[in-house]
Structure 1
Amino acid sequence: MHELSIVIDLVALCEENLRKNNKSKIEEVHLKIGRLSGVEPHLLKSAYDVYKKETVCENAKLIINLQDIVVKCNSCEKESILKKNEFLCPKCGSNDLEVLDGEDMYLMSLTMS
């Protein structure tokens, strides 16, 4: 379960941001997780809930925003959102696609006090 190692790094990043910003408490952690990132949001949430105890994130709410797959078709030049992992352009049916978003996980913001 690589989600636990992600959570360990995430909490360390939260601690670093608290120090840099002279804050004492994390209230919310906002993540963007792409559908192609390889991260399972429900497993990440479970790992977070277990690991956060007795850390700076102990009372922080984890907010996960799922990112759809955004592609650009190299045939018709249109950008589209894929709702399924079906890599065909919804406009022209081509499979010559470039993924623009949905492959990564990002820490989008922290609410600190």
Structure 2
Amino acid sequence: MHEMAIAEGILGIALKTMDENAATRVARVNLLVGEMAGVECESLRFCFAALTKGTAADGAALSIERVPLIGRCGACGREQPIERYSFLCPSCRSGALEIISGRELKVESLEVD
């Protein structure tokens, strides 16, 4: 379950940021998780809640924004959603798609007290 390792990394970032800003508690962690990141969001929530027990992030909300998989065609230049992992441009059928979003796994922001 790699979600546990991800949750550990998120908690580490949150606690370090809290310390750097002389805060006493982490209230919320806002994440961006790309469609292609391979993260099970409910599993990540469960792991994060388990890891934060007894820490300064105990009870912190974990807000997850899913980022769609979007590609830009190198041939026709159109930006479009990539559906069912079909990496051919839906407009011109070129295979020259560049992924421009959907692989993110990022702590976007934190709320601390």
Global fold match (TM > 0.5): yes
Question: What residue identity is the alignment partner of 1:59?
Answer: G
Unaligned runs of at least 5 residues, structure 1 = none
Deviates most, 76-85 or 22-31: 76-85
Question: What residue identity is the alignment partner of 1:65?
Answer: E
- 1:98 maps to what in 2? 98
Question: What residue identity is the alignment partner of 1:108?
Answer: E
Give, in angstroms, the shift of residue 82 of structure 1: 2.4
Inter-partner Cα distance in structure 2 for 1:90 and 1:55 = 48
Superposition TM-score, scaled by structure 1 size:
0.91
Please say if residues 11 and 56 of structure 1, whose CA atoms lie closer than 8 Å, have aligned partners that are also in contact.
no
Q: What SS does the corresponding residue of 2:100 show, helix, strand or coil?
A: strand
Superposition TM-score, scaled by structure 2 size:
0.91
Give, in angstroms, the shift of residue 92 of structure 1: 2.1
The number of equivalent residue pairs is 113
Question: What residue identity is the alignment partner of 1:82?
Answer: I
Unaligned runs of at least 5 residues, structure 2 = none
Deviation above 3 Å: which 4+ runs of structure 1? none
Inter-partner Cα distance in structure 2 for 1:83 and 1:53 = 38
- 1:26 maps to what in 2? 26
